[in-house]
Amino acid sequence: MVSAQKKLNSTGRRSGRWRTSERCRCRAAQELDSLKLLYAASSGDGHTMPGHPECFARSNAALNGLNTALEEANQATVNDASTPRDLEQLKNALANGVDYDEATDELLQLVHVPAYVEGLRELLPRAREAGCMTIETGGPTYFTPYSVMAAVSAVGAACAVADEIVAFNNAAVSTPAGLVLTRPPGHHAVPGGPKGFCLYNGAAVVARHVQQKHNCDKVVVIDFDVHYGNGTADAFRDDSSVLYASMHQERIFPFEGNIDEVGQGEGEGCNLALPLPAGTGRTLAFESWDTVIAPKAREFLRDAKKCFVVISAGFDAHFLDPTAQFMWDASDYYHLARRARELAGECAGGRLLYIMEGGYHVDNGNEASRGVGGALGVSIAELTRSTLGLASLEETLAARGNQVEASAPEKKAGLFGNMFGGGGGGAKVDPVEASRFALYGRAPRPDEPMELGMDILHRARQIHGI
C-alpha cells in the first residue's frame, strides 16, 4: 500500500485538482457517472497534545484507511478494465480529492456567535506562550498555536466537498458521496464555545451553508458517534428546517441526549435522541436506523424541494475504542454507509456527506491492521469500500473461507479454526468473528442488551409518532 503521505501533503490538501465546473465541462459524461466519492482531508498538524486521544495519529489512521480502500478499488478496476489506462486515471474515475480553503469568519458565523469566533483567535498569544493550554469552559478541550488553523481548515474542507456534491447533482450526472477526514472533530462545539475536543462545528456549518448557498430547504444530520452531538443539537434546537438524529451511548459525555430531548418551539420534533445502553452492537444499531432514524428522516424530507444529508461519522462505537462501551465492529460502518446511501438516494437526490468526528483507536500492533490505522483506519476503509461498491471485509473473509472449504476442507481448521480454539474441517465460519480476529487479534461478541435497547426504540417511536 502506498503511504498516505505520498498521496496527500502535510495539510491533507491536493494540488492541481479541477473544480467541479471544469470537470463537468472537460470530462465525458460516462466518466462523471462512474465517480463515486469526493474526499478531502486535513491532518490538523500542530493541533495535538501529548497523551491525548484526539491526536495527530488519528489523521494518519484515517488516511491509511481511505487509501487502503482506494487501492483495492483501483486494483478491481484494473482487473475489470477492457482497455488499459493509467492508474491515476482509473483512480480519478472512482474518487477525486477536493481542493478547499480555510473557512472564513462569515462561514463560521452561520452557526457560531461572532464573539466566540473572535475570542478563540484572541487566545492565540496565550497558546503561543504556553505551547498547549486547556480552555476552561470547553470541558476536555485543549488549544495550541495551531488549533484555529486546524479547525478552520476542517470546516472549510467540509463546505468545499458539500459544494462539489451539489455541483455534480446540478450537472445532472451521477452524484458522488463526500467524505471529509479532518480534525479536530466538531459535533460537541456549541454556537458560543468549544466542548469535548471540538472547536468549530463542521456538520452544523455545512447544514447552514447548503441551505444558504444552495437553497436546500431541509437538511438531515445523522450522528452515529458514540457520544451525543450536543453542539449540533443546540445549533438547531428551535429550527424546523434541520433534523438532528443521534444514536449514542447513554450516561457518558456529554451527559445529554435523553430520549425526551425533542427540540423546542418551531423545532419541536426535529431532535431525535436514541440513548442506547453499553454493550450495544450491530443488531441494535441497525434496528435503530431501520425502524426509527430512517423512517423519521423520510417523513421529515417528504415534502422537501431540495435537501441534503450530513453524517457526523464518529468511529468510537467500535468495540476497541477506549472512550466508550459500544460493541460495533468495522463492517458495521460498511452496512450503515449502505443504508445512508439508500436514504440519500431515495430522499435527497444522492446528496450525502460524511464528516469524521470521533474514533480514537489508532493502532493495536496486530499484524493485519498495522499500517491501516487500528480500529479507526479499518472502519474508515469499510465505509469507503461500501461507498465505492466493493465487498466488505467480512464478505471477503467469508468467501475466502468457503473457497478453502470447497477445495480442501482440512485446511479450513488451519485458516480459521485456531482463531476460536478449535473448529474442525467443514466447520462454518462466522465472517464477523473471523474479520474481528484477523484484524484485532480477538473477537468478543457479548450478548447485546436487547431488552433495554428495544424498549428505548419503542419509546422513541411513540414520542416521534413513527
Which grid cell sits at 411?
A: 485446511
Q: Are 200 and 185 in contact (CB under 8 A)?
A: no
410 in Cβ contact with 400 (< 8 Å): no
Return the H-helix or E-strand segment holding 101: none
CB 107 within 8 A of CB 159: yes
Q: So where are the chain's domains?
A: 4-392
Q: Which of 112, 188, 227, 464 is catalytic?
A: 188
Q: What is the pLDDT along the chain (466 residues), one digit of tens a residue?
A: 223 333 443 333 333 333 443 343 334 344 556 799 999 999 999 999 999 999 999 999 999 999 999 998 887 766 665 544 454 555 566 899 999 999 999 999 999 999 999 999 999 999 999 999 999 876 779 999 999 999 999 999 999 999 999 999 999 778 999 999 999 999 999 999 999 999 999 999 999 999 999 999 999 999 999 999 999 999 999 999 999 999 999 999 999 999 999 999 999 999 999 999 999 999 999 999 999 999 999 999 999 999 999 999 999 999 999 999 999 999 999 999 999 999 999 999 999 999 999 999 997 555 444 556 799 999 999 999 999 999 998 888 777 655 544 444 443 333 333 333 333 344 455 655 655 555 555 555 567 899 999 999 999 999 999 9
Is 52 an active-site residue?
Answer: no
Cell of residue 345, nine digits: 438516494
Which of the listed CATH numbers 3.40.190.10, 3.40.50.720, 3.40.800.20, 2.60.40.3880 matches domain 4-392? 3.40.800.20
What's the predicted TM-score (pTM) here? 0.87
Return the HEC string of 393-458.
HHHHHHHHHHHHHHHCHHHHHHHCHHHCCCCCCCCCCCHHHHHHHHHHCCCCCCCCCHHHHHHHHH
